[in-house]
Chain A
Amino acid sequence: MKFIAPLIAFLGLAVVLMLGLQRDPRALPSALIDQPLPAIDIPLLQNPEQRFDSTALRGQVWMLNVWASWCGPCQEELPALNVLAHRDRVPLYGLNYKDQPAPAQALLARFGNPYRSSAVDADGRVGMDLGVHGVPETFVIDAAGRVRYRHLGPVNNEIWETKLMPVVKALQ
């Protein structure tokens, strides 16, 4: 009988540690949640003469997807994004992170372009302002230009339905 208390304490500790093992140490919370999106003013991928201006998107809820042609999971999520963003009429914009124009364009030509436009972040400086540390990442930005949600990793049907769309709908 006197072993019951230590046994329960041990099992409790074991469960806590086991739950800790299930967590993804890379899934850091974004420091930008509920903060204003840093100003983005960089050239567009499709048309380098024009610039991507994040302040012009005020007044609507939109998504920013950070992608690159060298990133495997980004290729995986492109077809899903293409279907879902059109179906739910969510303005989806891209941030082409530390990439080169030719392979980036080739990737979009091959898998389809889900973005209204993509901004070129060649040196990763805008990505740093967004706290990007693993591509792909997807941000939901509200009408006032604040970041409200950040998803780390590729987007698929399930994540779109259960994580991203509820945030978008609540904000709309």
Chain B
Amino acid sequence: MDAGQISFWGVLLGGAVRLATPITLAALGETLVERGGIVNLGIEGMMALGAFLGVWGASTQSWGTGLLLGAIAGGSLGLLMGLAVLKGGVNQIVAGIAITLLGIGLADYLFQVWQPSGRSAVVVPLVPIVRLPLFERLPVIGGAFFAQSPLTYLAVVAVLVTSFALRRTTPGLKLRAVGDDPDAAELRGVDVIAARIVSLILGGALAGFAGATITVGYLGSFSSDVTAGRGYVAIAVVIIGRWSPIGAMLGALVFALFDSVALLAQSGSIGLPVEFFSSLPYAMTLVALVLTARAHHAPRALGRGLND
């Protein structure tokens, strides 16, 4: 194996880890929401709005502001969805589609108001990369895993913390009870509606933050449809990961690995058409979805309204 090959795998893996970050964060949020029994189809819109606010915040203030604004906007959309579904009795799927339209529409609209078309694109500084000493020197995986954006490390920590919280802490157990058997949870004094609204706010904030990590974390600019279906991929990844935070992170890596392949394919000819590689991440997500479809690990009350 020569040095060229090593760097190829390093670049591929590094790209995959970077691209997996926003999907991991969004999928982590969706895991929380679905553990509480709700499917949030609005993620795509929340991510789009977060992606725009990330750039806007980074351009006018700092990347920290951008990330914060993304999280706040996503959380607000989550609250809106929670009120509509749990107080207004709206069907979750319909509410999710409405949120997606609102988020995407707002992102595109505000971007065009801020930057009327014809001007050159705004490019913002990225969150600086943090190299972990010693680990970074490891062959192949060193650069891929330990010379990354702090957002990536943050995502991994968030996954581990959430995984622990869902299994070992009272709020985590309450949330799972709400998602598995809301009636029984209610009888035991858990406020089902409040728990679900809080899960939607958290999930929304994570989705908005995830959107901002796309633009502030590695792209540096916003354009229409910058999220390219990553919100939907995040929902798929939750199913693939069987509703566990760590599973979701591994699922996100599957998509991101092929996304990284597609990016590399754009820069050099690999023999097959470039459209084939651009399709790969979505096709592989679908394949993974098919392979995991038979297993029944879903929260038992998932997707059902409280009165059904």
A binds B: no
Spell out B's residues near A (CB within 8 Å). none
